[in-house]
Structure 1
Amino acid sequence: TLIGGANKVRQIEKLKEKPEVIVGTPGRILEIAETKKLKLHQVKTVILDEADQLLQQDQLSTVRNVIGKLPGERQMAFFSATSNELMEDLPKWFNVDPEWIDATEEDESKGEVLHAYIETPTRKRVEILRRLTHMEGFSGLVFVNNVANLTLAFEKLQYEGISVTVLHSEKYKTERQHALQQFRDGKVKLLLTTDVASRGLDIRGLPYVIQYDLPLNKESYIHRSGRTARMGQPGTVLTLVNGRELREFKKIISPLELPLTPLYLYGGELVLERPESEETEGTSPDSKAKTKAKPKTKEKSKTEPLKKPAAESVEPLKKKKKGRKKIDKNKGARKKNKL
């Protein structure tokens, strides 16, 4: 493996063993190839995994420089879970005429995924994460859009005593490996990460992917949600949104035509109500949300409304009792006796 952030000298030493396969990032492969320590003139096949990402403008020139060091006759393969308009320019960039193969329908490894959301104010998202960790068997990979927000959420959860760790690009490779291993071993319930973990990360039996922040586009949503429901196992993709973000979120994923379900965290568990009768079959998610929110109304009625009448009924009596002097007690009765 030839990857950035690792010891380059050690990687060059491993090349002396003459490996048949090299797996690496374009930047590090190009860096070592330019030192003549990696000779690419005998390469027969090159595979670009996560091709849609590698063909973005910030990486395209590096990839093309690597390909330029390969023999003119070589096999090229491009793999990706999503496609975009950049993929249409493969003939122009690499002088190839690719055969397109879509394996989506043949994929039997994917499990059943519940695409859901919890509508909550932004300031209460950390509290939602805290409450989720108290659910039985809970384990969640949480996606945050930037390192600053991720660090803030991590510090708040840590202060609350929640078992949580982080994984992002600013951490050393050993720190990232340690955090990931802790999460895989079940030693922490939450792994906060950026989109650096949205591709290629395999966590066996991961039940929840949680989006603390909205994905930037539908491709990001696909890759994030792909971390759960792997190898036939079920999974839930849970997005935390406020009212304004909910409309934006629906626009982002509308091309995917996914069924989106509102969930509610109540009584220490996620409440899911699906229409069972013909009367509710055509109900929209928004109107169903009002029906499901009833337990919250009941909860309030057990606390606040009951306290107010009790205070009103006692307070006037106390004032009356305190305002009367001892000598005035039974004054009316004494007048009757004198008469």
Structure 2
Amino acid sequence: MSFADLGLSDELLRAVEDSGYTEPTPVQRQAIPSVLMNKDLIAIAQTGTGKTASFVLPMIDILSHGRARARMPRSLILEPTRELAAQVAENFEKYGKNSKLSMALLIGGVGFGDQDKALEKGVDVLIATPGRLMDQFGRGKILLSGVDILVIDEADRMLDMGFVPDIEAICSKLPPRRQTLLFSATMPPPIKKLADRFLTEPRHIEVARPAAANALITQRLVESTVRGKRDTLRALLREGVKNAIIFANRKTTVRDLAASLKRHGFAVGQIHGDMEQAERLRELDRFKADEINVLVASDVAARGLDIKGVSHVFNFDVPWHPDDYVHRIGRTGRAGATGTAITLYTAEDAEAIDQIEKLTKTNIDRTPLSGQAPAAPSGPSDEADDQPRSQPRRGRSRSAAKPAGDAPAKPRVQTAGAAPAKPRAQTAPEPVRAEQAPPLPVDANPEWNGPVPAFLQVRLHG
């Protein structure tokens, strides 16, 4: 089946062909004809399946007939994040280049002025995040009574982010006679309740299991240690990686890891939730333009971003939720291309890895620990939370407060009477107790600048 078989206009088919696509994906084959027939639709499709084009393409043809009025958009697309909204806007620009449709983007982190001007002129397509849309509605800058098509994209993500009440409020302001399209990777009960309330006799389609990993992605687990993860990552990045997105669980980890990679000569950028929208978009543009080939990201970027040609995805941290693993690795292996996803794991990640393999029904290939630094002793480590500290921990020199991974860590001294630490990845030798410690020369620790504690019973030669 080709795009021409779906009933799209010749102008739209030319734009699709110019974009390099020849065959529709399964979700596009099923969704596009239904949308063109003005049917309500519930589509269960994971990210990376081409679902955005499955509503953008038919909407362009439907909206090509008619004219927008001031402050009254003819269609509304709701997205959970600013990045996803910008992504959909790019799709409209790409596929709608042969049409005369007007479009506006309502997202946070951007001034109201330009958005107000666009709304005042009237737009055919309004792409918005729920919060900014409600702000503009409250300011009296927009009327929703002229919306003929509503798209609720990434509905389960909307639920996770607490946007369902906003969506219900928005739907109540729309005309009852409209076409509503709902897309979601999963169908939890609150989303089903939302669909039952606001959709009319919708057609249901499901093109893949919500938790199915893309078969075109080669997955690997590489064992490391808490202290050795940065060394391991740098070694993997030097193994012929064209470009890569690296995911971490915490915003602080994203910042510290990006700074570390930059110090080691990598062309690296970062995106996380604490950055202004303009900064995040600038970093994404640099990555797309190959100005940088490594992008460190928090899960704000895990869903929906369609960056063409990403060769590798690295999970610096095993994700806290198994389904986030599927969304993260889905940044590679897109549009029929192959990709590689590598996850760094330690002994403490065994349960999380097990949950990921159960969810994806996949036995992921493992590369065991080899030639790594020994696991850190029990207790908090410098990289356990990967946060910089202005003060060293009690009982340690200032040099020990430097995050591990960029330089070898100095061994810790165990005090008398303390129980031996449980080994993590390998059996450690019995600790030397203080009363058995051999004499140390004066320069054994040249960074020591205070009196020697009596409990260490260290004899100084001189």
TM normalised by structure 2 equals 0.53
Q: Does 1:79 align with 2:169?
A: no
- On the 8 A contact 1:133/1:189 being kept in 2, the answer is no
**1:44 equivalent in alignment to 2:118:** no
1:294 corresponds in structure 2 to: none
Match among 250, 257, 271 for residue 167 of structure 1? 271
Q: In structure 2, how many angstroms separate the alpha carbons of the residues matched to 1:66 and 1:253?
A: 39
Find the residue that maps to 1:55 and give its secondary structure.
Answer: helix
Q: What is the count of residue pairs matched by the alignment?
A: 263
Against the structure 1 CA distance between its residues 85 and 212, is the aligned structure 2 distance closer, same or farther, given a 3 Å change threshold?
farther
Q: Aligned residue for 1:239? A: 343
Structure with higher helix content: 1
Q: What is the letter of the counterpart of residue 156 of structure 1? A: S
Name the amino acid aligned to 1:9.
G
Q: Root-mean-square deviation (CA), in Å?
A: 2.3
2: CA distance, partners of 1:196 / 1:10: 25
SS at match of 2:106: coil
Q: Is the 8 A contact 2:246 2:297 kept in 1?
A: yes
Asked if 1:136 corresponds to 2:240, the answer is yes
Partner SS, residue 122 of structure 1: coil
Give the residue type in structure 2 aligned to 1:251: Q
The verdict on how the C-alpha distance between 1:136 and 1:115 changes in structure 2, with shifts beyond 3 A counting, is closer
Q: Does 1:5 align with 2:117?
A: no
Structure 1 residue 65, shift from structure 2 partner: 1.3
Q: Give the Cα separation in 2 of the matches to 1:229 and 1:252.
A: 19
C-alpha distance after superposition, 1:189-216 (max 9, x if no partner): 3201111111221111111111111223
Tell me if structure 2 keeps the 8 A contact 1:2–1:23.
yes
Distance in 2 separating the partners of 1:218 and 1:100: 26
Matched-pair contact (CA < 8 Å) for 1:111–1:232: no
- Give me the whole-angstrom Cα distance separating, in 1, the residues matched to 2:217 and 2:308: 15
Structure 1 residue 111 displacement after superposition: 6.5
Is the contact between residue 106 and residue 129 of structure 2 (CA under 8 Å) also seen in structure 1? yes
Give the whole-Å Cα distance in 1 for the aligned partners of 2:146 and 2:189. 32
Separation (CA, whole Å) in 2 of partners of 1:74 and 1:216: 39
Name the counterpart of 2:299: 195
Residue 120 (structure 2) aligns with: 16
CA displacement, residues 153-209 of structure 1 (integer Å, 9 cap, x when unaligned): 122222222221101121122211221122222232320111111122111111111
Return the letter of the residue paired with 2:248: V
Match of 1:252 in 2: 356
Q: For residues 97-176 of structure 1, what are the structure 2 equivalents within 5 Å?
A: 98-104=202-208, 112-176=216-280
Please give the secondary structure, in 2, of the residue aligned with 1:64: helix
Write the distance in 2 (CA, Å) between the matches of 1:115 and 1:191.
19
> Paired residue for 1:66, among 163, 170, 174?
170
CA distance in 2, matches of 1:74, 1:20: 15
Return the letter of the residue paired with 1:72: P
What SS does the corresponding residue of 2:125 show, helix, strand or coil?
coil
Matching residue of 1:220: 324
Q: Would you say the 8 A contact 2:302–2:328 is kept in 1?
A: yes
Change (3 A) 1:253 1:6: farther
After TM superposition, the structure 1 stretch with the greater mean CA deviation from structure 2, 41-50 or 248-257, is: 248-257
Unaligned runs of 5+ in 2: 1-104, 372-462
1:324 corresponds in structure 2 to none
Letter in 2 for 1:14: A
Deviations 1:45-83 (A, max 9, x none): 211111111123621111111112111222221112344
1:291: which partner in 2? none
Cα distance, 1:6–1:159 mapped onto 2, change above 3 Å: same
Bigger radius of gyration among the two: 1
- The Cα shift of 1:113 comes to 0.9
Match of 2:159 among 55, 69, 77: 55
The C-alpha deviation readout for 1:266-312, integer Å capped at 9, x for no partner, is: 99xxxxxxxxxxxxxxxxxxxxxxxxxxxxxxxxxxxxxxxxxxxxx
Tell me the equivalent position of 1:280. none
Task: Find out whether 1:35 has 2:139 as its counterpart.
Answer: yes
Which deviations, in whole Å up to 9, do the C-alpha atoms of 1:221-273 show, x marking residues without a partner?
Answer: 22112111011110112111102203322213412212411247999xxxxxx
The CA distance in 1 between the partners of 2:252 and 2:114, in whole Å, is: 33
Letter in 1 for 2:309: G
For 1:96 and 1:122, the matched residues in 2 are separated by 52
Check whether the contact 2:224–2:369 (CA below 8 A) recurs between aligned residues: no
- What secondary structure, in the 3-state scheme, does the structure 1 residue paired with 2:203 have? coil
Verify the 8 A CA contact 2:223 2:369 in the aligned structure 1: no
CA contact (8 A) 1:165 1:179 kept: yes
Distance of 2:167 and 2:323 partners within structure 1: 21
Matched, 1:207 2:311: yes
CA contact (8 A) 2:217 2:339 kept: yes
Cα displacement (A) at 1:126 = 1.4
Instruction: Give aligned-pair identity as a percent.
Output: 29
Measured in 2, the distance between the counterparts of 1:91 and 1:79 equals 10
